[in-house]
Structure 1
Amino acid sequence: MSKDGSISTSVIKRLPRYYRFLGELQKEGLERISSRELSERMKLTASQIRQDLNCFGGFGQQGYGYHVDELRMEIGKILGVDKHFKTILIGAGNLGKAIATHINFETRGCNLIGIFDINPKLTGEVVGNIPIRHTNDIESFCEANSPVVAVLC
């Protein structure tokens, strides 16, 4: 952390990576991990990991390491993945449909509420329980639903 209390861009850019790695550790069933073990997996130094995480408070305990579930939850809060921002997807072609179908928006802090495309042939088609709307409807939809995030495909 700098003298003025701000957090460096480098640390902020590493947070999603920590979040992903901790998710992998959860899938492996790992409950605790030391900064040394985490550093070996992430190809960072243990000191760098401790410094990064200390920017946001004390998450670990010397000689005990980090509790994987708790650390991931805290990093998730910092990243805002616990907020579930209202999200729309613009572009329902092959890529848009694949993203809407195969990306779990909820685990990434988003709640997909609308899908739009300029192709009138796609209007009314349902993707993941969400009907595709024409892009002409974006303005009125946004006024009524107040999305915060838009994914452009």
Structure 2
Amino acid sequence: MIIQTKYFGEQEIKETEIISFSFGIPGFAHDKRFILQPFGEAFSILQSVDDEDVAFIVTSPFLYFEGYSVDLPDHFVQQLDIRSQEDVAVWVIVSVRKPFSESTVNLKAPIIINGSKKLGKQYIPDRSDYSLRARLAAAASEKRA
């Protein structure tokens, strides 16, 4: 199938690549089908299949934030039909700023994807000690130190 993407133009994808977000993503409830596209070494694009303008730059929080963890409640695990930890990919949305060193990630509400079932959902906990705007550059320099 051919889709239009925000960053890569027209792309041919397979139906098996589509990740279903049955609840959409908050603020984008009408977008329920996405694909992940690699974007450099540390980033990917979570691209809507149905709206080329809806695309999020995402990264793994574990690349930048050593102690980061997510404890998913049982109902969330059931919604995504998660059977094992190997099924789960955790992504955080990047807010790109100029200069890039000012870019932040939303650690408070990660995107959880069950890769084997191709199901995804943004996890928004009632309470979290994580920031909505954690600076990537600060985390990267701490990891190097």
Q: Which has the larger radius of gyration?
A: 1
Q: TM-score range by the shorter chain?
A: under 0.3
Structure having the higher helix fraction is: 1
Structure having the higher strand fraction is: 2
Q: TM-score, normalised by structure 1?
A: 0.23
Q: TM-score, normalised by structure 2?
A: 0.24
